């Protein structure tokens, strides 16, 4: 066993970074045995050096992250500061000065993963980022390594704990969206500004990463269609329950049936209670993978938090250190298929549409005609009404999103349609 330690620089020492440092210290002997050499925390870059950080030698703390990654004796840089800059520049600088990188930065990997992988390969270094998607759940490595000999056709998942907590509370207690969001905020699941979570930006970044790895193609954050969940109502949950469904904010990455393109999207969707994802409660994450040979696989666990995310970071750290000792690098970027990403209008799925209509003869016929004219087949219809007003709920068979959009626009022009109360996709049939 090598006695000279591998030196680690830690960029960021917040909730995740402090847990990484703690585990490196408390599990030092185990890490040494698993890696084949000791690992040493050689420096910690922070913005507020005066803050007391339990278990970390103040002499290791610096505000000069650039100088830390340029030192030349650093073997691995762990980046947990998040955001695009200065993280991107610091990671690139680390590669240029001989260090491999472990990151938890989903936004950066989703936006610039290809360029970062290219720089890592140019300098013979590793870039690992298991912690960027679904916290402690082993997901990226199984997709990138365990399923490397298989063909993945679909990845469907709950990848944001905040949104799952909110929707779960709406479903289980009948709470409205704002009430459930307020509870999530009070419990610390939602940030003071929850936009990144509830508008789907966080999940979209993760979907881009998952799609790129699963389908061996370039998928950037801008390629991912995104809808938030602020418009989901108690009435939507009532409709879902009548259909034997619940509602989840899903990241959906899919290979086209002809294999010629892929799609990646994030949006609320009704999902049957019989589907494994329907039972995912509270702030947990779960991802359902469909592969040709392996069949259906599900990965489940805590998707956020300091200790779970640090667990994923440390797993990558062990792998990268082992590679370093063996003078090798692990799997890099795989984008050999170069498949195009189809726009949302070409995505085929089922829809649940709730209409407010006049309660009089002929309305249902008019609505059905509009669906037929746009090539959208109706699966079921439910109508209730009184005092001249009615509610019409239509569930379609699978159809392209563009066809559904045209249908809705035509429905809005009917004199007998007072309004479109809600439109929601139905997944997991």
Q: Active-site positions?
A: 206
Cα 364 to the chain's mean position, in Å? 39
Choose among 287, 220, 209, 223: nearest CA to 250. Answer: 287
**Could you write out the DSSP letters of every residue in 256-280?**
-TTSS-EEEEEEEEEEETTSGGGG-
Strand partners, 102: 78, 128
CA distances to 158, 165, 182, 282, 338 from 172, in Å: 17, 10, 16, 10, 43
Q: CA-CA distance, 46 to 9, in Å (whole number)?
A: 11
Side-chain half-sphere CA neighbours of 76 within 13 A: 29
**Structure tokens given for 188:** 């610390």
Per-residue DSSP letters for 113-126? HHHHHHHHHHTT--
Cβ atoms 74, 46 nearer than 8 A:
no
Helix, strand counts (H, E) of the chain? 14, 17
Question: Alpha helix (H) ranges present in 27-123?
Answer: 28-35, 65-69, 87-96, 106-122
Sign of the C-alpha dihedral computed for residues 18, 22, 24 and 25 taken in this order: positive
C-alpha 337: how far from chain center: 22
Report yes or no: 254 and 339 within 8 Å, Cβ to Cβ: no
409: Cβ–Cβ under 8 A, 6 or more apart, which residues?
none
**Across-strand partners of 8?**
41, 76
Given a contact cutoff of 8 angstroms between Cβ atoms, the answer to whether 23 and 314 are in contact is yes
List of residues 6+ apart from 322 with CB closer than 8 A: 35, 36
DSSP string covering 128-183, please? E-GGGSSTTS--HHIIIIITTTS-EEEEEEE--HHHHHHHHHHHHH---HHHHHHH
């Amino acid at each position: 066993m090598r006695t000279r330690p591998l030196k680690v620089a830690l960029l960021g020492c917040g909730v995740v970074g402090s847990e990484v440092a703690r585990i490196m210290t408390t599990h030092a002997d185990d890490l040494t045995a698993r890696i084949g050499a000791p690992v040493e925390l050689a420096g910690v870059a922070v913005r507020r050096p005066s803050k007391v950080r339990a278990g970390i030698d103040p002499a290791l703390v610096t505000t000069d992250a650039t100088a830390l990654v340029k030192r030349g004796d650093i073997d691995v840089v762990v980046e947990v500061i998040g955001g695009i800059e200065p993280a991107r520049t610091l990671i690139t600088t680390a590669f240029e000065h001989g260090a491999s990188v472990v990151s938890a930065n989903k936004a950066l990997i989703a936006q610039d993963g290809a360029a970062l992988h290219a720089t890592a390969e140019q300098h013979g270094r590793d870039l690992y980022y298991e912690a960027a998607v679904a916290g402690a759940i082993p997901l990226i490595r199984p997709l990138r390594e365990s399923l490397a000999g298989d063909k993945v056709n679909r990845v469907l998942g709950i990848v944001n704990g905040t949104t799952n907590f909110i929707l779960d509370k709406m479903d289980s207690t009948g709470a409205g969206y704002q009430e459930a969001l307020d509870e999530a905020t009070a419990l610390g699941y939602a940030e003071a500004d929850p936009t990144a979570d509830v508008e789907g930006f966080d999940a979209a970044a993760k979907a881009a990463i998952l799609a790129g790895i699963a389908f061996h193609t370039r998928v950037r954050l801008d390629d991912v269609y995104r809808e938030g969940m602020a418009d989901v109502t108690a009435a939507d949950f009532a409709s879902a329950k009548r259909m034997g469904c619940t509602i989840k904010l899903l990241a959906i990455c899919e290979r086209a049936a002809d294999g010629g393109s892929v799609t990646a999207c994030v949006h609320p969707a009704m999902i049957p209670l019989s589907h494994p994802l329907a039972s995912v409660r509270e702030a947990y994450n779960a991802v359902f993978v469909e592969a040709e040979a392996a069949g259906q696989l599900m990965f489940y666990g805590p998707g956020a938090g300091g200790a779970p995310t640090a667990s994923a970071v440390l797993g990558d750290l062990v792998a990268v250190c082992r590679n370093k000792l063996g003078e090798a690098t692990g799997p890099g970027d795989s984008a050999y298929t170069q498949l195009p990403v189809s726009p949302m209008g070409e995505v085929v799925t089922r829809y649940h549409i709730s209409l407010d209509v006049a309660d009089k003869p002929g309305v249902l016929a008019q609505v059905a005609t509009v669906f037929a004219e746009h090539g959208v087949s109706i699966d079921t219809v439910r109508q209730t009404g009184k005092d001249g007003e009615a509610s019409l709920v239509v569930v379609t068979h699978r159809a392209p999103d563009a066809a559904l959009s045209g249908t809705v626009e035509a429905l809005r022009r009917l004199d007998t349609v007072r309004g479109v109360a809600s439109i929601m996709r139905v997944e997991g049939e």
